[in-house]
Structure 1
Amino acid sequence: MSLFEYTLLAGSSLFVIVDPVATVPAFIAMTPHDTPEQRIKTARLACFVMAGVLLSFAAAGRVIFKLMGITMPAFQIAASIVLLLVALDMLRAQRSRVQETHEETEAGAEKADIAVTPLAIPMLAGPGAISTAILLQNQAKTAAQHAAVYVCILGVSFASYLILKVSARGAKWLNPIAMNVAIRIMGLLLAAVAIQFGLNAFKTLRTDLLANPPGM
Structure 2
Amino acid sequence: MTEIYSFALLAFTAFFTIINPLGTMPIFMSMTASLSKQHRKQTAKKATIVAFFTVVAFAFSGQVLFKFFGISVNSFRVVGGLIFFMMGWDMLQARLGHFKHTDDEDKIDAYVEDISITPLAIPMICGPGAITNAIILMEDAKDIPQKITLIIIIGVVLLITYLVLVGASKITEKLGSTGNKVMMRLMGLIVMVIAVEFFFSGLKPIIQGILHT
**Fold shared by both chains (TM-score > 0.5):** yes
Structure 1 pair 11/104, CA: closer, same or farther in 2 (3 Å)?
A: same
Aligned to 2:131: 130
TM-score under structure 1 normalisation? 0.62
Residues 1:145 and 2:146 aligned together: yes
Correspondence 1:41-56 to 2 at 5 A: 41-56=42-57
Maintained 8 Å contact 2:33/2:98: no
- Going from structure 1 to structure 2, the CA distance change for 1:65 and 1:101 (only over 3 Å counts) comes to closer
Aligned-pair identity (%): 32
Alignment partner of 1:104 is 2:92: no
Q: What corresponds to 2:19 in structure 1?
A: 18
Q: What is the CA RMSD across the aligned residues, in angstroms?
A: 3.0
Q: Tell whether the 8 Å contact from 2:21 to 2:164 is kept in structure 1 after alignment.
A: yes
Are 1:40 and 2:2 an aligned pair?
no
* Consecutive unaligned residues in structure 1, runs of 5 or more: 83-96, 174-216
Report the counterpart of residue 115 of structure 1 in structure 2: 116
Q: Work out whether residues 11 and 152 of structure 1, in 8 Å CA contact, stay in contact via their aligned partners in 2.
A: yes
Alpha carbons 1:99, 1:124 under 8 Å: kept: no
8 Å contact from structure 1 (residues 99, 127) kept in 2: no
On the 8 A contact 2:34/2:97 being kept in 1, the answer is: no
Residues 124-181 of structure 1: per-residue CA shift (max 9 Å, x gap): 00111111111110111121111111111111111110111111222569xxxxxxxx
Q: CA deviation at 1:121?
A: 0.7
What per-residue deviation string (whole Å, max 9, x for no partner) do you get for residues 172-204 of structure 1?
Answer: 69xxxxxxxxxxxxxxxxxxxxxxxxxxxxxxx
- Give 5+ residue unaligned stretches, structure 2: 100-110, 176-213
Q: Deviations over 1:23-50 (max 9, x none)?
A: 1111111112111111111000000000
1:162 equivalenced with 2:163 (yes/no): yes
**Inter-partner Cα distance in structure 2 for 1:138 and 1:19:** 23
1:42 maps to amino acid: T
Matched AA of 1:25:
P
Contact 2:48 2:121 in 1 (8 A): yes
* C-alpha contact 1:54 1:125 (8 A) present in aligned 2: yes
Normalised by the length of structure 2, the TM-score is 0.63
Shift of 1:64: 2.4
Match of 2:61 in 1: 60
Structure-2 separation of matches of 1:146 and 1:18: 19
Structure 1 8/34 Cα, relative in aligned 2: closer, same or farther at 3 Å?
same
Q: Compare the two structures and name the one with the higher helix fraction.
A: 2
Secondary structure at the aligned position of 1:170 is classed as: helix
Aligned length: 153
Q: Which moved more, 1:108-117 or 1:154-163?
A: 108-117
Cα distance in 1 for residues equivalent to 2:23 and 2:68: 35
Match of 1:204 in 2: none
Does the CA-based 8 Å contact 2:34-2:98 persist in structure 1?
Answer: no
Partner amino acid, structure 1, of 2:27: A
Amino acid at match of 2:169: A
* Alpha-carbon distance in 1 for matches of 2:3, 2:142: 10
Change (3 A) 1:99 1:124: farther
In the TM superposition, what whole-angstrom CA distance separates every residue of 1:78-137 from its partner, at most 9, and x where no partner exists?
Answer: 6xxx7xxxxxxxxxxxxxx85962422427425723111111111000111111111110
